[in-house]
């Protein structure tokens, strides 16, 4: 099975349930890194998964 390395912003929104404006805010806050390939903006799956995992960890500590 092939692992997906990157996703587009619409794919990230679909996978996480986050909105487009939230994804852009995460870029601006330095919580997600954007990659550019020509005109396409990509997000590493590892970065996206790490961000989601950090939310889970924070909730456990409360």
Residue 61 above 70 pLDDT?
no
pLDDT tens digits for range 13-33: 999 999 999 999 999 999 999
Per-residue confidence (pLDDT) for residue 57, from 0 to 100: 65
Find out whether 48 and 13 touch, Cβ atoms under 8 Å.
no
Residue-averaged pLDDT of the chain: 91
In degrees rounded to 5, what are phi and psi of residue 19? -85, 165
Backbone φ/ψ region at 10: left (φ over 0), alpha (ψ -120 to 50), beta = alpha
pLDDT at 52: 93
pTM of the entire structure? 0.83
Full DSSP string of 1-62: -PPP-EEEHHHHHHHH---HHHHHHHHHTTSS--EEETTEEEEEHHHHHHHHHHHHHHHHH-
């Amino acid at each position: 099975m092939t692992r997906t390395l990157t996703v587009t912003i619409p794919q990230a929104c679909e996978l996480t349930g986050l909105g487009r404006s939230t994804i852009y805010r995460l870029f601006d806050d330095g919580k997600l890194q954007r990659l550019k390939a020509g005109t396409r903006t990509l997000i590493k799956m590892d970065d996206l998964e790490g961000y989601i995992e950090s939310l889970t960890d924070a909730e456990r500590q409360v």
